[in-house]
Structure 1
Amino acid sequence: MSKKYHFIAIGGAVMHNLALSMVAKGYQVTGSDDEIYEPSRTRLENAGILPDQKGWFPEKINSNLDGIILGMHARIDNPELIRAKELNIPVYSFPEFIYNQSKDKKRVVISGSHGKTTITSMILHVLKYHQKDFDYLVGAQIEGFELMVRLSNAPVIIIEGDEYLTSPIDRTPKFFHYHHHILLMSGIAWDHFNVFPTFENYRAQFEKLVEMTPKGGSFIYCEKDPEVRQLGENCKLPGVQIISYQAHPHTVEKGITFLITQNGKLPIEIFGEHNLQNLQGALEVCLSLGLSKEEFYTAIQYFKGAAKRQEILAKSENSILFRDFAHAPSKLKATVQAVKNQFPERKLIAVQELHTYSSLNKDFIHNYAHTFDAADIAIIYLNPKAVSLKKLELMDEQTLRNGFQRNDLRLFTEIDQLKAFLEAQDYHLTNLLMMSSGNYDDMDLSQIQSKINKKYQ
């Protein structure tokens, strides 16, 4: 008999991917949610597990279930969760369930405030290229992979380890639950202000994670990040291999980045100091898994990047429209700097949609000081509705200028006005970089794209 699991809050990005991977593995899956958006809705429907109605239904919970998988979106007073507890049905957060399914595997966890998805994606790309058997959990949809989660009988699992809270009933970081053998840490830059009220509190989570590395395990860290370097240099765990890394040697010629290797220069499709650090981190993990440098290089030249990470939406001979997920200060600064360094002769228009709780909070905004410095035109978009939903105060232009330390910063609070401004720009020798963890209210970019795609004479 196949096991039966019920998902509370099945519509989430990782949750619905986990549900689909379990259907593929032969489990019986049901679920509930109070709202399910695309693409989750269609994908769940195609798999035959889209809930018939929106909402929570305690009658779906019965003693025949082998377990409940609880999403972060659910509340602690969720009626299905209450019913499950009454019936003593095991309740797993998705990190706990991933570990439960991976106890017999070598577990690799990729952690850090930035670069997690890109590093994980690079490793998956290289392993897939060489037809290795592996499981994974990654925080974005990536090219060549149908799902964000795979659970099989593979001997190894690569996990993007998030520091955000596990579930409504477990207020600890997700990455504590994976019990890694190999840990990579890219950097520590204060994020999730609503959960970790001080930087010290935030940093302590990463310190504890390092201490969980077992004898015979490995800790791979970016020595260019001062916080992570301190953790690496202070790590005296018995029997743990400590490996530091920095950006892979490289050169930039006519807007193309080349890796400098023992066998000469190798062109790659990604760029920026932060991505060359990510690449070196991915290389160290692949070496720890038994691949050779040559195998890594053969595969990585075809890596196009993770979704919404320096993603090219339009391109001409002298202009590019980039979309990027950057939202936290360290991510924004690295991305803006990378685009400017890659194309120093081009004007850079950089737009940031402030979308997360931290970024919309005026008590946090000073952390964005100088993150926009490399842009020629710096623009902030704020959706007043998103701000009010988070019960925060809408910041004015002067507050943002003070926070970003940029006196010519422009603020837009109407999407149509931002759209009109961007459509009116001349994109000759100009790059446009649009950054957000949101979606700019689904702004239609087609006119900007056609303007950029047009070949300038």
Structure 2
Amino acid sequence: MEKKELQYIHLIAIGGSIMHNLALALHDKGLKITGSDDEIFEPAKSRLAAAGLLPEKEGWFPEKLDTSPDAVILGMHARVDNPELARAQELNIPIYSFPEFIYEQSKDKQRIVIGGSHGKTTITSIIMHVLRHQGRLFDYAVGAQLEGFDRMVKLTDKAPIIIIEGDEYLSDPIKRIPKFHLYNHHIGVISGISWDHMNVFPDPKIYLDQFRIFAEMTPKAGTLIYNQDDEQVQLVSVPRNPSDIAYIGYTVHEHSIRNGKTILHTKKDGDIEIQLFGEHNLRNISAAKEVCKKIGIKGHDFYEALKSFKGAAKRLEKIAESEDSIIFRDFAHAPSKVKATTEAVKKQYPKRELVACIELHTFSSLNKNFIPQYANALDAADEPIVYFNPKTIEHKRMEMLTEEELKAAFQNPRLKVFTDSQALQKHLAAYNWQSTNLLLMSSGNYNNINIEALTQAVL
């Protein structure tokens, strides 16, 4: 199906973070857009309403499909037995998952796909920041709201390239194929592999295989850029046909830390102070630089743009600061991310104490069989804290966790465990914050903890 033919598209599960951004991007292109969802939260609700795309009522309405859209895009939030999906199938309307649709819309572009268990949002956002700084035309699909970009998706007819954050999670409820297998990359990146999404990939080997498939999808004359320090990545990135494909390994960018600032050392441009920090981010910078080099951006121009890059939202995001305390917020929830983020803050500010708090929120992180993966993840913290909401465990119909089990899993007898967000807030508010930093890590929101009140108490 030629993308020019599409005039009218219906999105099933329009309220999702990436789905509502896709709806807005297509609306920007002048297409007629409708959609449905059984729950729509902020900021999707306000953004869809402002564009006139918010469904009148929450819920599923199969009769919406009787208006004969040219295509249906099916979000992962929808179930296999979704009544709108059933009607679309009955009427033989073409149905796409998000990644299939992005591929359809970018068949005539160079596709750059950033994959990996961790680091992909930061790598993607660095590349996008550099390209924009250089005035280059590009489309994109990224999993987080980035500063300076009002959408998470952009699709145009003019841009010669598209930058895609390639998630390994499933594409839709029907085909259940990892998203990054459906983009058919020309340039692929694997930033790191650390078992995640246990509900979909119950075994670490099955999870690893998804990255092997992605690596093997690199086409003739294509490029695979990989983290050469990660043993799991090395297992899947071993050059099979080096004469056909460019295999480029990367490592931590040469640097030093001075007075809490990270300085990059470069051959041609001398020392460059940047706003990012942490060994994991210094690898992310190296990955982004290799991608930029492949698409014709010179080293000098890359570093010039990097100076003004503040980082992706909720990725070691500085939310408040005083003379002797900083509060960081990070999306980290998988074990490798929690460990890397905690160590990064401690290493950057070695003379300060560190209170590091992780919310266990995802299916994997609350699973008794998976939790031992968190061994030593919070060891760099002076005050390691774990919070989880018992209602989340009940809602996911999982077995309740005990404090003893968590201390054993994290292999950290100093671990403090909280199951009440108010009690956690009280504990943090009463803490002595003299020369101490706070790191909040979660893909959730600590059961709506009051961040403003907490910030005032800390600073």
TM-score (norm 1): 0.98
Unaligned runs of 5+ in 2: none
Counterpart amino acid of residue 103 in structure 1: K
**SS in structure 2 at match of 1:171:** coil
The answer to whether 1:291 aligns with 2:318 is: no
Among candidates 322, 329, 335, match of residue 323 of structure 1: 329
1:161 aligned to 2:166?
yes
SS at 2:66 equivalent: coil
Q: Does 1:8 align with 2:9?
A: no
Cα shift at 1:383:
0.4
Q: Does 1:271 find its partner at 2:268?
A: no
- Tell me how far apart the structure 2 counterparts of residues 62 and 250 of structure 1 sit (CA, whole Å): 60
- Give the superposition deviation at 1:238: 4.7
Work out whether 1:387 is the aligned partner of 2:397: no
RMSD over aligned Cα, in angstroms? 1.0
What is the alpha-carbon distance in structure 2 between the residues aligned to residue 332 and residue 122 of structure 1? 21
Whole-Å Cα distance in 1 between the matches of residues 327 and 276 of structure 2?
15
- Check the 8 A contact 2:355/2:436 in 1, yes or no: yes
Kindly indicate whether the alpha-carbon contact (under 8 Å) linking 1:336 and 1:375 is maintained by their aligned counterparts in 2. yes
Q: What is the one-letter code of the residue matched to 1:208?
A: I
In 2, the alpha carbon distance for the partners of 1:227 and 1:9 equals 34
The answer to whether residue 38 in structure 2 is matched with residue 25 in structure 1 is: no
Shift of the alpha carbon at 1:231?
2.4
In structure 1, what is the Cα distance between the partners aligned to 2:398 and 2:184? 37
Q: Tell me what 2:365 maps to.
A: 359
Q: 2:408 aligns with which of 399, 402, 405?
A: 402
Find 2:136's aligned residue among 126, 132, 136.
Answer: 132
1:91 & 1:174 partners in 2: Cα distance?
15
Aligned partners of 1:379 and 1:410 also within 8 Å: yes
Q: Which runs of 5+ in 1 are unaligned?
A: none
Q: TM-score, normalised by structure 2?
A: 0.97
Displacement of 1:63 in angstroms is: 5.7
Question: Does the CA-based 8 Å contact 1:286-1:296 persist in structure 2?
Answer: yes
Answer yes or no: is the 8 Å Cα contact 1:215–1:237 preserved in 2. no
- What does residue 156 of structure 2 align with? 152
Q: Go from structure 1 to structure 2 and tell me whether the alpha carbon gap of 1:63 and 1:52 turns closer, same or farther (over 3 Å shift).
A: closer
Q: Percent identity?
A: 54
Which of 79, 82, 99 is equivalent to 2:83? Answer: 79
| Residue 440 of structure 1 pairs with residue 446 of structure 2 | yes
Matched AA of 2:373: N
Distance 1:143 1:128 in 2: 12
Question: Residues of 1 paired with 2:185 and 2:453: CA distance?
Answer: 47
* Equivalent residue number for residue 170 of structure 1: 175
Question: Once structures 1 and 2 are overlaid, which stretch shifts more, 249-258 or 58-67?
Answer: 58-67
Aligned equivalents of 1:318 and 1:448: distance in 2? 16
Question: How far 1:29 sits from its partner (Å)?
Answer: 0.2
1:61 aligned residue: 65
Q: Residue 186 of structure 1 corresponds to which residue in structure 2?
A: 191
CA shift at 1:316, angstroms?
A: 1.2
Cα deviations by residue, 1:30-65 (Å, 9 ceiling, x for unpaired): 000000000000000000010000100010002631
In 2: Cα distance, 1:126 partner to 1:452 partner:
35
Deviation for aligned residue 1:408: 1.5
Alignment partner, residue 103 of structure 1: 107
CA positional deviation for 1:234: 4.1
Pairing 1:220–2:225 present: yes
Shift of 1:442: 1.7
1:198 and 2:203 matched: yes
1:230-249 counterparts in 2 under 5 A?
A: 230-236=235-241, 238-249=243-254
Please say if residues 211 and 237 of structure 1, whose CA atoms lie closer than 8 Å, have aligned partners that are also in contact. Answer: no
Structure 1 residue 378 corresponds to structure 2 residue 378: no
- Say how many residue pairs are matched: 453
Q: 1:207 aligns with which of 212, 233, 243?
A: 212
Q: CA deviation at 1:450?
A: 2.2
